[in-house]
Amino acid sequence: MSITLTAWRWLLTIACLTSTSIALAQELRDGQFSVVSNLKAGVGKVDITPTDVAGLTVIGHRREVTGVRDPLRAGVLLLDDGETKAAIVTLDTIGAWDDMVKAARERIEQETGTPAANIMVAASHNHSGPGYAEHPKWAADLIKKIGQAAKTAAAQMKPVSIGYGEDRIGFGINRRKVIDGRAVVRLNPDGPNDPRVKVLRFDDGQSLTPLAVVMHAVCHPCFFTWGDKGSLPYPKGYPKMSADFPGEAQSFVELIYGQKTSSLFLQGCAGDIRPNLPGFPYRCADEADIQWAGRDLGGAVVRALAHSVTREKLKERPTYYQIRVASSVIELPGKEQKVKAELQALKVGPFLFLTMPGEPMVEYGLRLEAAIADRATPIIVGYANGNIGYIATSAAYAEGGYEPNTSKLLPDAEEHILLELSRLTDRVVGDVFDSFSKHPKDQKKREAQERSPAK
What's the pLDDT at 225?
87
Complete edge-to-edge strand list for the sheet that includes strand 158-159: 119-123, 85-91, 73-80, 40-47, 158-159
User: For position 231, what pLDDT does the model report?
Assistant: 83
Could you report the per-residue pLDDT of 183-232, keeping only the tens digit for each? 999 999 999 999 999 999 999 999 999 999 999 999 999 999 877 777 88
Measure the CA–CA gap between 92 and 127, rounded to whole angstroms. 9
266: nearest Cα among 60, 58, 121: 121
Q: How far apart are CA 351 and CA 216, in angstroms?
A: 13
pTM for the full predicted model? 0.91
- Residue 61's pLDDT band (cuts 50, 70, 90): confident
* C-alpha to C-alpha distances, 328 to 95, 172, 343, 455, nearest whole angstrom: 19, 31, 6, 6
> Does the pLDDT of residue 450 top 70, yes or no?
no
Average pLDDT over residues 245-261: 98
Confidence at residue 13, expressed as pLDDT on a 0 to 100 scale: 46
Supply the DSSP symbol for 374.
T
pLDDT at 327 over 90: yes
Hey, is 189 helix, strand or coil? coil
Contact present, 141 and 47 (Cβ < 8 Å)? no
User: Which has the higher per-residue pLDDT, 375 or 281?
Assistant: 375
Pick the closest to residue 198 from 160, 159, 161, 169 (CA basis): 169
Q: What average pLDDT is seen over the chain? A: 92
Cα–Cα dist 392/404, whole Å: 5
Task: Give the strand pairing for 40-47 and 158-159.
Answer: antiparallel
pLDDT of residue 394: 97
Which of 19-23, 81-85, 440-444 has the weakest average pLDDT? 19-23
What confidence tens digit (pLDDT) does each residue in 333-375 have?
Answer: 999 999 999 999 999 999 999 999 999 999 999 999 999 999 9
Q: How far apart, in whole angstroms, are the C-alpha atoms of residue 383 and residue 389?
A: 9
Max Cα distance, the chain (Å) = 93
Rounded to an integer, what distance in angstroms lies between the CA atom of residue 190 and that of residue 99? 38
> The sheet that has 161-168: what strands, in order across it?
161-168, 196-203, 212-217, 262-267
Does residue 436 surpass a pLDDT of 80? no
Mean pLDDT computed over 120-146: 97
Tens of pLDDT along 106-120?
A: 999 999 999 999 999
Predicted local distance difference test score (pLDDT) of residue 454? 44
**How confident is the model over 39-64, as a mean pLDDT?**
95
The torsion angles phi and psi of 230, rounded to 5 degrees, stand at: -95, -5
The kind and range of the H/E element at 107 are helix 98-112
Which SS3 state, helix, strand or coil, does residue 141 take? helix
Which pLDDT score, from 0 to 100, does residue 236 have? 86
| pLDDT, position 228 | 76
Position 150 pLDDT exceeds 50:
yes
| pLDDT the model gives residue 1 | 47
Is residue 181 predicted with pLDDT exceeding 60?
A: yes
pLDDT at 27: 47
pLDDT score of 441: 72
Closest alpha carbon to 273 in 169, 412, 182, 354: 169
pLDDT over 60 at 20, yes or no? no
Q: What percent of the chain has pLDDT over 90?
A: 83
